[in-house]
Chain A
Amino acid sequence: MTSIMNFIHALGQYDFLQSALIAAIMVGVMSGIIGSFIILRGMSMMGDAISHAVLPGVAVAYMLGINVLIGASIFGILAAGLIGFVVSHSKIKTDTSIGIVFSAFYALGFILISLAESSTNLHHILFGNILAVSDTDIMTTTVILGLVILFVVFFYKELLITSFDATYAQTYGLKVHILHYALMFVLTLVTVSALQTVGIILVVAMLITPAATAFLWTDRLATMLVLSASIGAVASVVGLYFSYTLNWASGPAIVLVAAVFFGISFVISPKQALFPRLWHGTNAKKKRVIA
């Protein structure tokens, strides 16, 4: 209990901790939202791939002294395009194509970073360093969060129908591929933001775990988005607390908290019904009807 009081006290005292908290909440929200679409489209592997594939972009950006977002976006979209190209121009399946492209990009990223020999701490890129979030980082993260929310609000029905029934969307003339690449672009931006809090390696966890947890609690997409964003934010804040108090790396701390939330939901959520009596047996009844 005292450590929580200490954390709250420190929050009032240190700017860096306030910045960390704000960044954590924003990243939790945006990755929870985009992650929901990623898991519903069966693209968890793709999320993992894009998050790793931005590494060379980060390296190049440091070398050239340009904004990390630009470098990362270029490589993220390039990877998504290349994965799609290999699949549509050969008999290679998507998961195989993803494996080849993302590992190649990741490897390239490592070599470029070692060539750059900058003061960039590879460890921080890989595992996140939320306590070193700068004011500029907060600014860009805010802009990206705004973009994510606008994207989902304006294209909600397109995202819904292409995730649920892309064939149907195509028959009424929706440009399904354009939407796919738009989503990949937004995913890349989210990845770069999440890089500060959880690092490249664990970005995929922030995309998938809160969304999967939310999925266990609801049958409505809109509810799932709000729930997933909330779970992402809460996991980030709790993770930050552990990171600060116990001196754990922020990324693993946040990801473990999210995983615990998922574990709890897995056991007690109504969809799972491991313990149907908790829910007055309603779900057990439903299941019988289906069978």
Chain B
Amino acid sequence: MLTVKNLTVAYDDTPVFTDVAVNFNAGKITGIIGPNGAGKSTLIKAMLGLIKAQSGTVLSDGHDLKQLQKQIAYVEQRKDLDLSFPISVFEVVMTGTYGKLGLFRQPGKAARDASRAALEQVDLAEFADRQIGQLSGGQLQRVFVARAIVQEAQVIILDEPFVGIDLQSETAIMAILKQWRDAGKTIIVVHHDLNKVSHYFDDLVILNHGIIDYGPVDDVYTADNIERTFSADLSAVLFSPAGGSKK
């Protein structure tokens, strides 16, 4: 279990959130939802140590996460990358082995085999030698999921993996997430909209400059919570009988 305690993050004295406390269960796929600017990406970046938190700790089964950095895989948003970079799909996946290799050790046969297997798992083996810019958004997202597979991490954090991708890629990624879940890993997904929330996730965290609610999806994804976090209109659309809600 991943435990976040008293986490406070501020940009230039303006707090994004204060004293956030939340648990992420192992063996569950947990979604983080909230309006734009609610601090979703900030929360996971602070957990990863990518931005400095004013206070707070993140514990993994009682151990400080800073000591366990190689146990976390991060699948970032694709838009932050230079897609013209001279690197092949296969090489990108191989970078997943770098953390465990450490300095001065080059990836060998084991790393290459693991990368090839991961590419097969996401159904992209035939694209191994392509330059990454030649892939579609969904294919590229699968490449980064393949890299996370190679990392063999216990905690996997994904930042908006389903934005702008095709159905085939979505299905392939979801299948991997479920494999990870069944292997007892902790999976955290920042999600950009309210589509398919109860379809994707086991647990849910609703964030809006602080935790609104968290727990099993069925308990948390309620008309009341959505109205409090987003708007009454949205809640009405999602949860009215005619709106086709899952609840």
Residues of A near any B CB (own CB < 8 A) = 40, 42, 154-158, 160-161, 163-165, 167-174, 215, 218-221, 223-224, 286, 289-290
Given the complex of chains A and B, what is the CA–CA distance between A224 and B86 in angstroms?
A: 8
| Residues of A contacting B76 in the complex (Cβ-Cβ under 8 angstroms) | 165, 167-168
Given the complex of chains A and B, what is the CA–CA distance between A170 and B70 in angstroms?
A: 11
Q: Indicate whether A221 sits within 8 Å of B70 (C-beta atoms), given known contacts A154-B104, A167-B80.
A: no
Given the complex of chains A and B, what is the CA–CA distance between A174 and B91 in angstroms?
A: 18
Return 22 A-B CB contacts under 8 Å, by A number. A157-B95, A157-B106, A158-B98, A160-B87, A161-B95, A163-B85, A164-B92, A165-B95, A167-B50, A167-B74, A167-B76, A168-B95, A170-B48, A170-B50, A171-B48, A172-B151, A173-B69, A215-B86, A219-B86, A219-B87, A219-B131, A221-B91
Given the complex of chains A and B, what is the CA–CA distance between A158 and B107 in angstroms?
A: 12
| Residues of A contacting B164 in the complex (Cβ-Cβ under 8 angstroms) | none
Given the complex of chains A and B, what is the CA–CA distance between A17 and B151 in angstroms?
A: 53
Chain A facing B: main interface SS: helix
Q: Is the pair A221, B87 in contact by a Cβ cutoff of 8 Å?
A: yes
> Does B72 interact with chain A (Cβ within 8 Å)?
yes
With most chain B CB atoms within 10 A of its CB, the pick from A157, A165, A168, A174 is A168
Q: Is the pair A164, B50 in contact by a Cβ cutoff of 8 Å?
A: no
| Residues of B contacting A161 in the complex (Cβ-Cβ under 8 angstroms) | 95, 98
Given the complex of chains A and B, what is the CA–CA distance between A40 and B86 in angstroms?
A: 9
Q: Indicate whether A218 sits within 8 Å of B86 (C-beta atoms), given known contacts A171-B48, A173-B99.
A: yes
> Does B81 interact with chain A (Cβ within 8 Å)?
yes
**Closest chain A CB from B112 CB (angstroms):** 13
**Closest chain B CB from A246 CB (angstroms):** 36
| Residues of A contacting B80 in the complex (Cβ-Cβ under 8 angstroms) | 167
Q: Is the pair B95, A171 in contact by a Cβ cutoff of 8 Å?
A: no
Q: Which of B46-99 contact A (CB under 8 A)?
A: 48-50, 69-70, 72-74, 76, 80-82, 85-88, 91-92, 95, 98-99
Residue of A nearest to B82 (CB): A164
Q: Is the pair B72, A171 in contact by a Cβ cutoff of 8 Å?
A: yes
| Residues of A contacting B101 in the complex (Cβ-Cβ under 8 angstroms) | 157
| Residues of A contacting B91 in the complex (Cβ-Cβ under 8 angstroms) | 160, 221
- Choose from A154, A164, A172 the contact partner of B99 (Cβ within 8 Å): A172
Given the complex of chains A and B, what is the CA–CA distance between A174 and B82 in angstroms?
A: 20
| Residues of B contacting A218 in the complex (Cβ-Cβ under 8 angstroms) | 86
Q: Indicate whether A160 sits within 8 Å of B69 (C-beta atoms), given known contacts A165-B81, A167-B76.
A: no
Residue of A nearest to B73 (CB): A171
Residue of B nearest to A218 (CB): B86
Given the complex of chains A and B, what is the CA–CA distance between A158 and B72 in angstroms?
A: 19
With most chain B CB atoms within 10 A of its CB, the pick from A40, A171, A224 is A171
> Does B134 interact with chain A (Cβ within 8 Å)?
yes
| Residues of B contacting A157 in the complex (Cβ-Cβ under 8 angstroms) | 95, 98, 101, 106-107
3 cross-chain pairs, A with B, having the tightest CB-CB distances, nearest first: A172-B99, A219-B131, A173-B69
Q: Is the pair B88, A219 in contact by a Cβ cutoff of 8 Å?
A: yes
- Choose from A158, A168, A215, A289 the contact partner of B103 (Cβ within 8 Å): A158
| Residues of A contacting B49 in the complex (Cβ-Cβ under 8 angstroms) | 170-171
Residue of B nearest to A289 (CB): B134
> Does B133 interact with chain A (Cβ within 8 Å)?
yes
- Choose from B85, B92, B95 the contact partner of A40 (Cβ within 8 Å): B85
Residue-wise, chain B 192-216 has the 8 Å CB interface mask toward A (1 for contact) of: 0000000000000000000000000
Q: Is the pair A173, B70 in contact by a Cβ cutoff of 8 Å?
A: yes
Given the complex of chains A and B, what is the CA–CA distance between A164 and B91 in angstroms?
A: 11
